[in-house]
């Protein structure tokens, strides 16, 4: 009988992969409710409900999901409260609902936890031939600014999850064509469409061509964006309009056009915000644009919700991209400061953001809208 590891720190807790998935979920819930784990190295026996049991819950559910289960929605919106058992946690309460663990469950990369003095330890790895649980099969997605960096990573991950992808670009045709070629080489479907998101005519053409080729639209990622860090004294009117036109107006124009093409089942809109939306020094314009994106996300989630259109935002921290290399960020003192303020101790990679985007594009996030998910390694 084959077994699948669900925790491999100092000892391994295993359950048969032949065990019914729902039973695996029940094992996790029961263990957490009893304040115990199946591995003594994860927590002392008899520990009351707490983070370590939530970890067990997420690990076991991950194993179950890999073998066909879907974690009950109610289970993903509960938080342990000591001897009182489980209670629902409303969004915005300040406590992390278990729905956050769904992001970990959906990652194709190795999840890590700290235990027994180990720096990190593998929790769950995909067996040979297994695929990510998040399914975008049959969906069509438009990703703006997808020729490089985060946008390119999102386009590729969407394709791997089963979506047909429109790679929008403004000027980097060669890079956009390469993204499309990479997707097609892996058996996916993609096209590249040029268009400036700050121009209404270009945006209309982008979605008209998408409709002509794929005959539907399910997901929009408003990723196109520009930035320039400069102190207030060096801030110009032209730079203000450049950033606001692309980062803010572009988001509005693309969303306005996309909603015309979503079907009766609605769709998912994912906006790219930033931890800078809270305001950082020497980035007054860029911070302002991302603060506006956060406000737009909340406003449109409320407006479009009745049409079954979900609107969420991802707020990355520092991410290593072609842009940050060209700007001289990588290898600079500024990068060292960012890493120093990041609990996970490294700069982000485009795939770190792309995996979150796949979750928000999928039906697994069907009850999530109006949210800003910070994907920054803990940087605030």
Q: Is the pLDDT of residue 281 over 80?
A: yes
The predicted-structure confidence for 150-192, as pLDDT tens digits, reads as follows: 999 999 999 999 999 999 999 999 999 999 999 999 999 999 9
| pLDDT-wise least confident of 59-73, 198-212, 242-256, 326-340 | 59-73
* Residue closest to 289 by CA, chosen among 222, 244, 323, 228: 244
* pLDDT interval class at 68 (50, 70, 90): low
Q: Is the pLDDT of residue 114 over 90?
A: no
Cβ–Cβ under 8 Å, residues 342 and 379: yes
* pLDDT interval class at 231 (50, 70, 90): very high
Phi, psi for residue 2 in degrees, rounded to 5: -75, 150
Which domains can be identified in the chain, with CATH numbers?
A: 3-122 (no CATH), 140-375 (3.40.50.720)
Task: Work out the percent of the chain whose per-residue pLDDT is above 90.
Answer: 53
Selected residue with higher pLDDT from 63 and 107: 63
- Indicate the average pLDDT of the chain: 76
Q: Is the pLDDT of residue 376 over 60?
A: yes
Of all helices (H) and strands (E), which one includes residue 21?
helix 21-33
pLDDT at 86: 37
Q: Is the pLDDT of residue 199 over 70?
A: yes
* Residue closest to 246 by CA, chosen among 262, 228, 234, 230: 228
| pLDDT-wise least confident of 118-122, 198-202, 309-313 | 118-122
pLDDT at 150: 97
Tokens of 22: 């729902």
CB 379: neighbour CB atoms within 10 A? 20
pLDDT at 181: 98
What burial class does residue 351 get, using C-beta atoms within 10 Å of its C-beta: 0-12 exposed, 13-18 middle, 19+ buried?
Answer: middle
Q: Is the pLDDT of residue 249 over 90?
A: yes
pLDDT at 341: 83
Q: Is 266 left (phi over 0), alpha (psi -120 to 50) or beta?
A: left
Cβ–Cβ under 8 Å, residues 351 and 377: no
pLDDT at 305: 98
* pLDDT interval class at 62 (50, 70, 90): low
| pLDDT-wise least confident of 52-56, 160-164, 302-306 | 52-56
Q: Is the pLDDT of residue 203 over 80?
A: yes
Selecting among 286, 287, 338, 364, the annotated active-site residue is 286
d(CA 273, CA 357): 12
pLDDT at 137: 96
d(CA 309, CA 63): 31
Radius of gyration, alpha carbons of the chain: 21
* pLDDT interval class at 323 (50, 70, 90): confident
**Residues paired with 142 in a beta bridge:** 166, 220
- Rounded mean pLDDT, 14-20: 43
Q: Is the pLDDT of residue 11 over 60?
A: no
CB 129: neighbour CB atoms within 10 A? 5
Q: Is 303 left (phi over 0), alpha (psi -120 to 50) or beta?
A: alpha
- Rounded mean pLDDT, 193-210: 98
pLDDT at 172: 92
Query: What is the DSSP annotation of 315-373?
Result: EE-SB--HHHHHTT-TTSHHHHHHHHT-TT-S-B-HHHHHHHHHHHHSGGGTT--S-EE
Q: Is the pLDDT of residue 336 over 90?
A: no
CB 41: neighbour CB atoms within 10 A? 16
Q: Is the pLDDT of residue 115 over 70?
A: no
Q: Is the pLDDT of residue 94 over 60?
A: no
- Rounded mean pLDDT, 129-151: 84
pTM of the model: 0.68
pLDDT at 106: 43
Q: CA angle at residue 221 from 215 to 223, to 5 degrees?
A: 135
Tokens of 273: 């915000």
140-143: strand order across its sheet = 190-194, 164-169, 140-143, 219-222, 267-272, 309-316, 372-375
Q: Is the pLDDT of residue 98 over 50?
A: no
d(CA 192, CA 141): 12
Could you say which DSSP state residue 237 is in? Answer: H
Q: Is the pLDDT of residue 42 over 50?
A: no
pLDDT at 200: 98
Q: Is the pLDDT of residue 28 over 60?
A: no
Cβ–Cβ under 8 Å, residues 309 and 267: yes
Is 286 marked active-site? Answer: yes
d(CA 210, CA 190): 10
Could you say which DSSP state residue 280 is in? Answer: -
């Amino acid at each position: 009988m084959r077994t699948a590891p669900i925790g491999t720190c100092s000892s391994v807790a295993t359950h048969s992969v032949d065990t019914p998935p729902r039973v695996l979920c029940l094992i996790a819930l029961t263990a957490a409710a009893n304040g115990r784990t199946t591995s003594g190295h994860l927590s002392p026996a008899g520990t009351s409900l707490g983070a370590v049991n939530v970890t067990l819950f997420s690990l076991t559910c991950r194993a179950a999901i890999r073998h066909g289960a879907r974690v009950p929605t109610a289970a993903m919106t509960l938080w342990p409260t000591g001897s009182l058992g489980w209670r629902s946690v409303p969004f915005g309460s300040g406590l992390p609902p278990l729905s956050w663990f769904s992001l970990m469950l959906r990652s194709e990369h190795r999840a890590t936890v700290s235990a027994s003095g180990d720096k990190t330890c593998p929790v769950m790895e995909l067996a040979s031939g297994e695929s990510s649980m998040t399914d975008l099969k049959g969906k069509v997605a438009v990703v703006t600014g997808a020729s490089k960096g985060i946008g390119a990573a999102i386009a590729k991950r969407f394709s791997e999850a089963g979506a047909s992808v429109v790679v929008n670009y403004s000027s980097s045709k060669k890079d956009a064509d390469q993204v499309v070629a990479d997707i097609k080489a892996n058996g996916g479907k993609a096209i590249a469409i040029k268009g400036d998101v700050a121009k209404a005519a270009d945006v209309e053409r982008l979605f008209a061509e998408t409709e002509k080729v794929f005959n539907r639209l399910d997901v929009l990622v408003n990723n196109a964006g520009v930035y320039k860090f400069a102190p207030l004294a060096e801030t110009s009117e032209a730079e203000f309009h450049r950033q606001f036109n692309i980062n803010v107006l572009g988001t509005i124009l693309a969303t306005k056009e996309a909603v015309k093409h979503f079907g009766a089942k609605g769709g998912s809109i994912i906006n790219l915000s930033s931890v800078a939306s809270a305001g950082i020094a020497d980035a007054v314009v860029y911070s302002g644009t991302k603060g506006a994106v956060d406000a737009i996300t909340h406003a449109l989630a409320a407006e479009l919700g009745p049409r079954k259109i979900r609107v969420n935002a991802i707020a990355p921290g520092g991410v290593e991209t072609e842009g940050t290399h060209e700007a001289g960020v990588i290898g600079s003192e500024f990068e060292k400061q960012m890493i120093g303020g990041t609990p996970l101790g490294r700069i982000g990679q485009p795939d770190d953001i792309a995996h979150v985007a796949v979750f928000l594009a999928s039906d697994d996030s069907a009850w999530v809208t109006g949210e800003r998910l910070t994907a920054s390694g803990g940087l605030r």
